[in-house]
Amino acid sequence: MLLSGCAGLRTPGDVYQRGEAAYYASSFDGRRTASGDRFDSRRLTAAHRRLPFGSRVEVTNENNGRSVIVTINDRGPYTRGRIIDLSRRAAEKIDMIRSGVAPVTLRVLD
């Protein structure tokens, strides 16, 4: 669920969006992202449909309260109902590897 549009976000740290997160399969390692970076599952990065490349976003797993800060460097996810795709390292930080998908809250930091 989108709580406010990207352009309408007025205060960094406000809840931007709630929905489901997933994470990239290891087969994406080394491929170019939409920003031109090479994907590295060990970095704290993510894909989002609208947020500008380079945006830093706090992602909180609503099941356990764990959070991670990621940098947007790709576009997606393209699976219905998902709002963000995380690198494997980011997914590990919020303890969602076993489930593969988790409900999350996004806060744009800058």
CB 12 within 8 A of CB 4: no
- What distance in Å separates the CA atoms of residue 66 and residue 58, rounded to the nearest whole number? 10
Largest Cα span, the chain: 37
H helix intervals, the chain: 88-93
- Kindly state the average pLDDT of the residues 46-56: 96
Indicate the pTM of the whole model.
Answer: 0.85
Summary mean pLDDT of the chain = 88
- What distance in Å separates the CA atoms of residue 110 and residue 102, rounded to the nearest whole number? 24
Q: List the helix and strand counts (H, then E) for the chain.
A: 1, 6
Higher per-residue pLDDT: 24 or 57: 57
